[in-house]
Structure 1
């Protein structure tokens, strides 16, 4: 459910950002462009249009919307403060949002099968009770009235709960973090593309906040400093190198997400073997054995 809402929010932010970039590129002022976009009824765009009309901080309105809008707000604030071309900047963040959406979709598809398998197998111990009844054993009576059966019921129930929580934790850990990979490098690239100094760019990028997921060191401070040093030594624009770093961060995020989804199938075997199968034995096999023993006169 949360993943679905995040995907919808990312799509809304991407659509609005790309439309705004087109309108600004056509020559509209930011206030007028926001007003036109707000006519579509998006609540965040309406708030941003009102702020732009009053001359207030539009980035603050976007930041308060949360989710993906926080990423847009960071880049928007840096572009306005640095004096970078707003239309080109929004196209850049739009492309980054699109890449992030594709990464999230790829990983969700890859996670769907092992997650569904884990949910299905979690019902295996519970289905053992009606299975025993179908075979002619009074498994319910054994589990409720027999002391050993009651112990099996409690132990099996605890193992079922533990298995579900364990599998849910593994699936949640395999999901990609929220945010746009490589956003820090994008912030630096936007700032430096306006022709400001490195110190000023550092101030703006720091003030915008680090809102990207810590997927790798490619967009960390050390990597950015290394890219800046390379640009100085090579005599090339640092903004282009930083945009390349941002693209590589998104590429790594996609690769790492698919790898995590592939590993999930193996990791889910651990709660299956440690919890689900023992729970099936306690709720299905042991009560049937107890029923046979009791029917044969064994105390």
Structure 2
């Protein structure tokens, strides 16, 4: 490339970067049409130098995909994100949105392929390793799922989602002992999760591995109990009766659990909790009345930026 052509390329990139920044600012102000115009203009200015501007064009396609999604056009958003990852395979935010969009459409095999491509890069992100596990699980390949979640924990041993999802994968394979281990690790990381409250209750009950009661201030069981009695009306799911396993003499917790179950029309469960609490000397819930509960968490798209 001649010196004159190099200068022209540098000017085109500088102009595109300026348009990109303005587009981002407009999007943050809620001016989506103005942002789209800036991004489209930036791409047009780079057409002459496609081979030399792949990275910046990938980034702009990613932003355009986000704009389409904010405007309610998910198919166009997916198309733009796919353009972005074809130009720059390491653009993980765009890749995550592709995976999430395909998964939402039920295209789990294709979503898994994108996740595996992203995770083949050096230092894969924990979030995408978890997404790979989720897609394996959606395809009923639980061994594949466990491997992906385990890799996520190697990258970040304190990942709540990786511990929780690995526990669920073990649970799906009837492997309750390792499931309990990872649910407990998840509870240590985030003792305020209602999903962990319920999961621990069910698996401890099924394995009869209650352990020695620990009522110290920072113990998971105590923190779970404290959380369960706070802001109950704001919780999305009822508290499982087996949370009382360590707390049958806690009248406040008993009332909260009964109210929680009753509000969800789970009358039988509420009655079972009451009967279990009568046998306080056992410090155990009624083992004959445990409703099984599925555990799940909700993925979300990456933030716009």
Q: Same fold (TM over 0.5)?
A: no
Higher relative contact order (CA 8 A, sep 6+): 1
Larger Rg over CA atoms = 1
The structure whose residues are more often helix, as a share, is: 1
Question: Shorter-chain-normalised TM-score: which range?
Answer: under 0.3
Please give the TM-score of this superposition, normalised by the length of structure 1.
Answer: 0.25
